[in-house]
Amino acid sequence: MRAENLSRLASMRDQVLNRAEIRPGDTILDVGTGQGLLGLGALERSAPDGHVIFSDISEPLLEDCRDAVAQVSATARASFVPAQATDLSAIGTASVDVVVERAVLLFIADRAPAFAEYHRVLRPGGRLSLGEPLNSWMSADRPGYLWGYDVTAVADLERKLHDADRARRAPDEDLLGGFDDRDLMAMARAAGFQHVEAQTELSLAPPPARGDLDVFLDTAPNPLAPTTRALMAAAFTAQEAERFTAVLGESLHQGRGERRHALTFLRAWR
């Protein structure tokens, strides 16, 4: 699973950077750089004299990037700018050749100002290249499925679990990923980009077979969310929990279900 995730990350990095058509000497802004996945790749591609601006809302992550850049002896070609994607005022108008970004817009409620900022900081002729997971399709509510595992035989209980999950969610949690490729294209166009293209990858596959029902039940989708076991305790009687885990355990064991994967790559020219 870990190897699969790493190779998926490397593939996304390459797809975003290939589409950015980075040339030696370019100045590249990596928005929401995280640990510098795109920015470090952009440093290589813009050598020997290109410059990369690593930007993020998290100062500790920018410090990680600073260390990683020092390790490849490229400190003179990098800068580190704490900034919101929606407010890049620390970066000059028409000052960069390329803006790259991966998996950031899904964390932002109001995405139009981010596109406006990407457009503002780019020089005429500059390129925007971004890659985003499409949670609107990947994580769409599918009655009878739990994390892609088929529990249709106890669909009534799956709905109870689903309702318990909805009841405890903050209203704005749903905004994560509430967009698709056409929404992103429309936002890029509205921000002033004249040429915009998007390519979307959708795939379906059975989820991996797993023998670890307990580990699965004790896992939460993110650190703030409850585990499946905690949700079950809130939603089910003891008998219902038994009925549900019997079906779920079997499905996990056989890897029965449907896992979705969806990514979109957008690029636009200023």
**List of residues contacting ligand SAM (CB under 6 A):** 32-34, 37-38, 56-58, 61, 84-85, 102-104, 107-108
CB of 119 to ligand SAM, least distance (A): 16
CB of 214 to ligand SAM, least distance (A): 28
Q: Extract long-range pairs of 133-136: CB within 8 Å, 24+ residues apart.
A: 133/103, 133/106, 133/177, 133/262, 133/263, 134/177, 134/179, 134/180, 134/181, 134/200, 134/202, 134/262, 134/263, 134/264, 135/106, 135/176, 135/177, 135/178, 135/262, 136/177, 136/178, 136/179, 136/180
Residue number of the CB closest to ligand SAM reads: 34
CB of 154 to ligand SAM, least distance (A): 33
CB of 197 to ligand SAM, least distance (A): 20
Q: By C-beta, is 9 or 94 nearer to ligand SAM?
A: 9
Element (H, E) at 145: strand 145-146
Would you call the peptide bond into 48 cis, given omega within 30 degrees of 0 as the criterion? Answer: yes
Q: By C-beta, is 146 or 188 nearer to ligand SAM?
A: 188
**Cβ count within 10 A of residue 51:** 19
Q: By C-beta, is 100 or 188 nearer to ligand SAM?
A: 100
CB of 42 to ligand SAM, least distance (A): 11
Q: By C-beta, is 96 or 103 nearer to ligand SAM?
A: 103
Q: By C-beta, is 103 or 247 nearer to ligand SAM?
A: 103
